[in-house]
Amino acid sequence: MVHPRVYEALSQPVVGHLDPYFFEIMSEIEESLKVIYGTTKGITMVISGTGSAGMEAAVANFLESGRKFAVLANGYFCDRISEMGRRQGAQVVRFEKPWGATFEDQEAADFIRREKPNLVAYVHAETSTGALQRGEAICAAAHDVGALVVADCVTSLGGMPVNADLTGIDIAYSCTQKGLSCPPGLSPMFLSPRAVDWLNQRTASPRSWYLDLKLIRDYTTASHRYHHTAPISMFYALHEALAVILEEGPENRWNRHLRCHQAFVDGVEAMGLALHVPQGHRIRTLNTVRVPAGIDDAKVRARLLAQAGIEISGGFGPLSGKVFRVGVMGPLATEANVEFLLLEFRKALVAEGYRS
């Protein structure tokens, strides 16, 4: 759900892409993103494309032909970033686990120390599975072998702490339409000082001109040299969405999401349902509930939408028909909404033949 203030900001009159007012908005966005990403040392910037454009910017700027790219693969978006790495001409090596599993510190570190890659990627919060991946051991091992680390924070940013500095992440990207409660269209990124140094020392230009982070940074902060015409309206919206978050307070927001997540988990377990991801490895904003035996998940979802106007998602890939994916995030994440959701979810399940 997008906050009404954000819709209002979206429809304000556009200014030019080199207007000082736009650069002021951009600068405030970057400062707010530092708070949300949990960094005082790194920089933040915004890509004029969706979350996948941020993913491609990470890959296209930090990989080149012949570099080794290690992916901790446990879901759909790990596959996507692997494919992007291959297209850049990198040698992609993967540590594969079933969708929904996570990597223990020791095994992740062993994999990285053995492979000695140039770049490591993991997905902090996997939208396709509901699994949360710890990054500290991954980052430490990567830095030991001289690699940089990319973290996909598409589903975590704004809904739970990312702690980029503390974790040791070098490159992160996200989207606007999940934890930030803004319409889709931009990708907020984070770069550590180590990543910035690497970029500055890179001699060959990335294949992508549109996603060339050095050129974009030059446009938005340094010389304000024209690169592309930024989608001004989307920046207004992101600016307002971040203001809403900072007014609530990031800690308060994250705790609110945690409380709602816990209430949801307690509720579905009380119905006799099981979560797909073990406790301690779950995303706060997106819950994956196992579809009980004999129940058609698509029918339950259609009924829930028709009876209560609540849209939840199904699983896909290996989890197709096996899980419900239930987002509890943004302005909608309140205890009252969770209670209503649980009531209606139960009704829809029972109507489709579920007996707990």
**Which residues here bind a second copy, judged by CB under 8 A?**
2, 7-8, 10-11, 13-14, 16-17, 48-53, 55-56, 60, 80, 83-84, 87-89, 175, 177, 183-185, 205-211, 226-234, 237, 311, 316
Q: How far is the CB of 166 from a second copy (least distance, A)?
A: 29
Q: How far is the CB of 114 from a second copy (least distance, A)?
A: 28
Q: Which is nearer to a second copy, 89 or 318 (CB)?
A: 89
Q: Are 155 and 313 in contact (CB under 8 A)?
A: no
**In angstroms, what is the minimal distance from the CB of 211 to a second copy?**
8
Question: Residue 4 Cβ, how far from a second copy at the closest point, in Å?
Answer: 9
Measured distance CA(87)–CA(95) in Å, rounded: 19
> Do the beta carbons of residue 97 and residue 49 sit within 8 Å?
no
Nearer CB in complex with a second copy: 209/340: 209
Is residue 293 within 8 A of residue 322, CB to CB? The reply is no
Compare residues 10 and 263 and give the one whose CB is closer to a second copy. Answer: 10
Q: To the nearest whole angstrom, how small is the minimum distance from the Cβ of residue 202 to a second copy?
A: 13
Q: Please give the structure tokens belonging to residue 29.
A: 């966005």
Q: How far is the CB of 180 from a second copy (least distance, A)?
A: 13
Nearer to a second copy by Cβ, of 117 and 327: the residue is 327
Please say whether the beta carbons of 19 and 219 come within 8 A: no
Report the alpha-carbon distance of residue 343 to residue 307 in Å, rounded.
Answer: 12
Measured in whole angstroms, the distance separating CA 333 from the mean position of its chain's CA atoms is 17
Is residue 129 classed as helix, strand or coil in its secondary structure?
A: coil
Q: What angle do CA 68, 69, 71 make, to 5 degrees?
A: 150
Radius of gyration (C-alpha) of the chain in whole angstroms: 21
Question: Closest separation between CB of residue 27 and a second copy, Å?
Answer: 19
75 versus 185: smaller Cβ distance to a second copy: 185
Structure-block tokens of residue 294: 């004999």
State the sign of the Cα–Cα–Cα–Cα dihedral 121, 127, 131, 136.
Answer: positive
The HSE-up count of residue 95 (CA atoms within 13 Å, CB side) is 23
Residue (2 or 268) nearer to a second copy, CB: 2
Residue (53 or 109) nearer to a second copy, CB: 53
